[in-house]
Structure 1
Amino acid sequence: EVETGHVHAVAPESKVAVIPNGVDIRYFESSAEAKSMERPEALLFIGSMAYAPNQDAVFFFHREVWPLLEANFPDLKWWIVGRDPSAEVQSLASTNIRVTSWVEDVRPYMAASQAMVVPLRSGGGSRLKILEAMAARLPVVSTTIGAEGLSVSDGKDILLADESRQFADTVTRLFQEPSLAQRMRTNGRHLVEARYDW
């Protein structure tokens, strides 16, 4: 809907229709089982690495958020899943950071993770990966821009954080407060069932 305003600003006579995004919630049912937060194991980022805002998000998270999390959770893993990772993105790979290219099926990565991180600082788009994570009952921590255009509520079905320390603290809260993690899983799934199911 934000993009609709941009189109009308350039071409006021244009007829523009917004077709809401959606997700096949049944497809993600197999990865929608509750995950234990008692021993944080993995975070997940999914997005095309050919898209500059995704690269920026990954570099920002690696530079400013990951060290804060790694200090508290030295065994924590971070999956970066997305097609066309540049040499710079691939260079982030380490013992605890795994960089893949395109994968046939994201569900195993969702099933192996405790949260999806969406540290976007720019860019547009449909935010489909957030809806897929919610369909899989995977809690989502995102910047405000990362969740732009979705009918989400901070603290109810998603957790929003825009600064590096706040982002790390929010992920930490998710790990340390099982009731919060459960609420995000349940409410995120309910949201996609009610508003975004195809």
Structure 2
Amino acid sequence: MTDSIRVLIAEDQSLVRGALKALLETEPDIAVVAECATGIEVAGLVAKHCVDVALLDIEMPGKNGLDAAAELAGTACRSLIVTTFGRGGYVKRALESGVAGFVVKDTPPEQLAEAIRRVHSGLKVIDPALAQETVFIPDNPLNPREQEVAQLILDGAGSRLIANKIHLSNGTVRNIVSSLISKTGAGNRYEAATTAQTHGWI
């Protein structure tokens, strides 16, 4: 254990989390020392268990993997995103959040283990197909408020509910939605939000 790479798995689906743990525990130089189902728990567990590499899903309750990675930036723990959501925009956001690697969940086990070793050694590891896709994804044009509104639209909220949730007037929300539609080149609010999600901007 003392010579092993100490790993945390943050994944909200228990079956996936268990499968990842079982696969990694077959590696003689990797030890899974902590696991959790929410992004909120990550920083505390990393500190408590002296984690070397945190495997983070993107979509998790409370705090997503990108925000959890940003919280770990500057610590001795390095972050490796392991997610179903293989979108170029997510890779850009991940790199901005300070992650050291980004791979998808269908990565072969031996490649995932090698990615952990490389990240631990100080290298960056990005899935080759995603790295290529990232080149062609435009930078995120949305400001934080527009991202917030786009996510609420995807969640099914109308203008009145959005206004109540983020404490703005209906008119201000309409202006934000108009800006969102304009920046994404979409025909309506839902298409704009979907475009933002597809590009990994939210």
TM-score (norm 1): 0.42
TM-score (norm 2): 0.41
Structure possessing the higher relative contact order (Cα contacts under 8 Å, 6 or more residues apart): 1
Larger Rg: 2
Greater fraction of residues in helix: 2
